[in-house]
Amino acid sequence: MGRIRNKTKSNPIIGILCEGKSEKQYFTMLKQKYRLANIKVKIVAADLSGKSLVEKAVKFGKYNHLDKTYVVFDRDEHSKDELRKCAKLARKNDITIMFSSIDFEIWILMHFESVTRSYTRKELVQKLSRSAYFNQDYSRFKGNSYREYIFDKVQDAVDHANKLYRKKSDWINDDPFTNIQIYLPEIFKRDNF
């Protein structure tokens, strides 16, 4: 008589492709926090168009046999038309876009407070540099570990982002905007952070 194999389903292999070091550090922190080896976090390349990021994600997902792929980027200089093309390409290839406007740092700021107004990149850096936040020049900090600053504040960010999303849910036109909180539960298999 042959052996009976254990039919437990393993966790799906998830890829999170990022535009920069800040995003990679953030999602690596969450991967470690929740001890999930099935998540691959990689920087694709900075300064690419949204469409190019999605194209790279498609190739990366196929090459690495990923079950689900996410692309994380922000507004940069992307035109509305380019964002629409990016969304169409992503849908066609089952890629999920996690987007922040104007910058990923709007999501980081939400770990500390609600966001109700638009910020420039410079304003975000100045604000996050203050003693109540990172207490250092945030522009030099970017790309370093977030662990000691926001490790236990992820649920605050989710709550703040959900509050904003009820008022601003159009990723192409709204600023401020983020949809990161929507996808965290499916990536990390939890409802509370």
Alpha carbon distance 90, 86 (integer Å): 6
Query: Left, alpha or beta for 158 (phi > 0: left; psi -120 to 50: alpha)?
Result: alpha
pLDDT in tens, the chain (193 residues): 555 555 555 789 999 999 889 999 999 999 999 999 999 999 987 667 778 889 999 999 999 999 999 999 998 778 899 899 999 999 999 999 999 999 999 999 999 999 999 999 999 999 999 999 999 999 999 999 999 999 999 999 999 999 999 999 999 999 999 999 999 999 999 999 9
The domain locations on the chain are: 14-188
Rounded to two decimals, what is the model's pTM? 0.91
